Structure 1
Amino acid sequence: MLIEALKAFFIGVVEGITEWLPISSTGHMILVDEFVKLNVSAEFLELFLVVIQLGAIMAVLILYFHKLNPFSPRKTRVQKHATWRLWGMVAIGCIPAAAIGLTLDDFFNEYFYNAWTVAIALIVYGVVFIVLEQRNRRREAVYLESHRVGARSVRGRHARPVYEVGPGDDGDNAEQALFRVHTVDEIDWKTALKIGCFQMLAIIPGTSRSGSTIIGGMLCGCSRTAAAEFTFFLAIPVMFGWGVLKLIKYVLAVGMAMTATEIVVLAVGIVTAFVVSVIAIKFLMGYIKKNDFTAFGVYRIIVGLVVLAYFGAKLFL
C-alpha cells in the first residue's frame, strides 16, 4: 500500500503542476504512465486520473474564494453584482464544452488518445505560444516607438520589458494599449463565448485546457493575467462536471466497491494535487506579471519531441 501511495503522490504532483501551467497534463501523464503504473483496476485508474482534478479545482476555490463568493459580507452591492456577472461569463464560456466537448469526449479518447497526437499537439501549440508572444512584443515595440517611451532591459530571456516613464505616460500604457481586456471583470459575453470555443479545442489530447483558453483569451484581447484567471474559473464547472460524470460511469460499471489501497490512492492523489495546485497557480500568476508565455511554448516543443523520440524508439526496439 505504501508503494501505491507514493505513486499516487507523484501523479498528484504532476497533475497539480501541469493542470494549470499551459504545458498539457495529458502529455505528461502519458509519459508518467510509461514508468509509474498503479496496481489498481483499469476502471479505477480511469476514475482516479479524472477525480484527482477535483483537488486542483479546490485550489482555485480556496485561492479565489473572496473574488468568487457573491455572498461575501465584505463586498458592496456593486461588487456582489460584479461577482454574479463574472459567474455568468463563466457559464457562457462553458457552453461550447458542455454542448460539444462532452458529446465527443469518448470519440476523441478512443481514436486520438495516443502518443503521436499528444506530441503533435504539444509542438503545435508550443509554436503558437511563441508566435503569439512575438506578435505581442512587436506591438509593444510599435507602441513604445510611437510614444517614445524607453524600455530598459531586464534579466531573463523571456522577461517583459520595464518601461521608463515618459511625458504623459505612467509606464503601464504599453500593456494597457496592447490588450483590450485587463481584468476578468471586463470580459463580456461575446469574449467569454469565444474563449469557451478555444477551450473546446482541449478535447484533443496534448492541447492543454489552460493552454488553449489562455491563447484564446489573448487572441480575444485579454491581458495575460485576465486570460489566466478566466482559465482557472472556467475549469471549475468543466472539470467538476467531468469528474462527476466519470464517477457516475464508474459506479454504473463496477458499483461503489473500492479496495483499501484504492481508497488510499484516491485520497493521496486528491490532497497532493490540491497542495501542488496552490503552489503552481501562485507561481504562474507571479511569473506572468514579469514574463510572457514564450518559455512555456519552448518547453512544450521539447516535451513533444521527447514523446516522439521515446515512443518512436519503442517501435523499432
Structure 2
Amino acid sequence: MNLWQAIVLGIIEGITEFLPVSSTGHMIIASSLMGIDAQDFTKLFEVVIQLGAILSVVVLYWRKFFDRGRLAFYKKIILGTVPALIIGYLFANEIDQLLDSPLTVGIMLLLGGVIFIWVDQWFKVPEVLEEEKMTVWQAIRIGFWQCLAMIPGVSRSAAAIIGGLQQKLIRELAAEFSFFLAVPTMAAATGYKLLQAFRHQPQFITEKHYLLLLLVGCCVAFLVAMLAIRSFIRYLQHHGFRAFGYYRILIGIVVLVLVWKGVLK
C-alpha cells in the first residue's frame, strides 16, 4: 500500500462509515480494484482507520460524551455494545474469512438495498423522539441488530438504524444512536486488531512507513466523516432512506458483475 491508496481508502471510510451503505464493503471493493486486498496490512488498515471516523462522532457530539450527568446515556451505549463484543470475539475467525469475499459484499448490498427501499413504509409511526426517552432494553435490542453488520456488505450503521426504527425511534435519532454505538464498538475492534498485530506482525505498528499510512488514513477518515455525518442528518430531516436503497442495489449489481467477470476475486 502506498500513500495515495491510503488516502483513497480514508476518504471512502469517512464517507461511508455512517451511511447505511457498508464502509467495509466499499473498502473491500476499492482494495480489490487497487490490487492490495491480499496484503495483510490492508486488512489491519481497513479496521484501524475506522477509529479516525468514529472520533468525529465524539467531536461532533462532545456535549453528550463528556457530560458526567448523563449516566443513563453511558449505560445505554455500554449495554448496547455488549452483544457485538461477545459475538465478535466468539466468531472472530469466521468474520475475518468473510472479509475476503466480494461475493458476500455484493449479495448483502443488494438485499440491504431492497430492505431500505421499503423501510420508511414499514416504520411509519415512531414513538421515541429523543434519546432520553429510549429505554435500556431498546438500546440492547438495537445492539443485537448491529451484530448483523459482522457480515460484510450489511453495514453497521444500516443494521443499527433499522434496529432503531424497529424500536420506534425517529429517523434522525436512529441514525444518531447508530453513531454513538460505533464509538465503543469500533474502538474495541481496533484495539483487538492492533493487539493481534503487535503479537504476530509487530512491524505493522512499529515501522515508520506503516505508521504513516495508518496516521494518514485515520486523519483523512476523521475529516471526511465530520462532513458526512452533518450532511446525513440534514438529509434525513427532509428525506427517507429510499435513495440509499437504490444506491445499494446499484453497487451490489456492479459488484456481482465484477465478481462474475473475475475482476473481483
TM-score normalised by structure 1 residue count: 0.79
Structure 1 counterpart of 2:19, from 14, 18, 21: 21
Which residue of structure 1 lines up, in the alignment, with residue 6 of structure 2? 8
Quote how far apart the aligned CAs of 1:38 are.
5.2
Which residue of structure 2 lines up, in the alignment, with residue 168 of structure 1? none
Which residue of structure 2 lines up, in the alignment, with residue 311 of structure 1? 259
Which residue of structure 2 lines up, in the alignment, with residue 266 of structure 1? 214
Structure 2 counterpart of 1:86, from 43, 53, 73: 73
Give CA-to-partner distance per residue, 1:32-57, whole Å, 9 cap, x none.
01222459x93322221111111111
Distance (whole Å) between structure 1 residues aligned to residue 103 and residue 201 of structure 2: 31
* Equivalent residues in 2 for 1:105-120, closer than 5 Å: 105-111=92-98, 113-120=100-107
Which residue of structure 2 lines up, in the alignment, with residue 170 of structure 1? none
Which residue of structure 1 lines up, in the alignment, with residue 175 of structure 2? 228
Partner of 2:140, secondary structure, is helix
Structure 2 counterpart of 1:277, from 201, 225, 234: 225
Which residue of structure 2 lines up, in the alignment, with residue 193 of structure 1? 140
Structure 2 counterpart of 1:50, from 38, 47, 50: 47
Which residue of structure 2 lines up, in the alignment, with residue 130 of structure 1? 117
Which residue of structure 2 lines up, in the alignment, with residue 36 of structure 1? 34
Partner of 2:153, secondary structure, is coil
Quote how far apart the aligned CAs of 1:111 are.
4.7
In the alignment, structure 1 residue 70 sits paired with structure 2 residue 67:
yes
**Percent identity between the two aligned chains:** 36
Which residue of structure 2 lines up, in the alignment, with residue 75 of structure 1? none
After TM superposition, what 4+ stretches of structure 1 lie above 3 angstroms from structure 2? Answer: 256-259
* Equivalent residues in 2 for 1:87-236, closer than 5 Å: 87-111=74-98, 113-136=100-123, 139=124, 178-236=125-183
On the 8 A contact 2:98/2:152 being kept in 1, the answer is no
Give CA-to-partner distance per residue, 1:127-174, whole Å, 9 cap, x none.
1111111334xx4xxxxxxxxxxxxxxxxxxxxxxxxxxxxxxxxxxx
On the 8 A contact 2:83/2:147 being kept in 1, the answer is yes
What is the total number of aligned residue pairs between the two structures? 263
Could you tell me which runs of 5 or more consecutive residues in structure 2 were left unpaired when the two chains were aligned: none
Distance (whole Å) between structure 2 residues aligned to residue 37 and residue 13 of structure 1: 18
Cα–Cα, structure 1 residues 220 and 189, in superposed 2: closer, same or farther, change >3 Å?
A: same
Partner of 1:67, secondary structure, is helix
Distance (whole Å) between structure 2 residues aligned to residue 238 and residue 8 of structure 1: 23
Distance (whole Å) between structure 2 residues aligned to residue 10 and residue 254 of structure 1: 24
Quote how far apart the aligned CAs of 1:235 are.
0.6
What RMSD in Å do the two structures reach over aligned CA positions?
2.0
Quote how far apart the aligned CAs of 1:27 are.
1.7
Cα–Cα, structure 1 residues 255 and 113, in superposed 2: closer, same or farther, change >3 Å?
A: closer
Distance (whole Å) between structure 1 residues aligned to residue 95 and residue 49 of structure 2: 21
Structure 1 counterpart of 2:58, from 55, 58, 61: 61
Partner of 1:52, secondary structure, is helix
On the 8 A contact 1:90/1:192 being kept in 2, the answer is yes
Distance (whole Å) between structure 2 residues aligned to residue 263 and residue 208 of structure 1: 27
Distance (whole Å) between structure 2 residues aligned to residue 209 and residue 293 of structure 1: 15
On the 8 A contact 1:4/1:38 being kept in 2, the answer is no
Quote how far apart the aligned CAs of 1:184 are.
1.7
Quote how far apart the aligned CAs of 1:108 are.
2.7
| AA partner of residue 23 (structure 2) | S
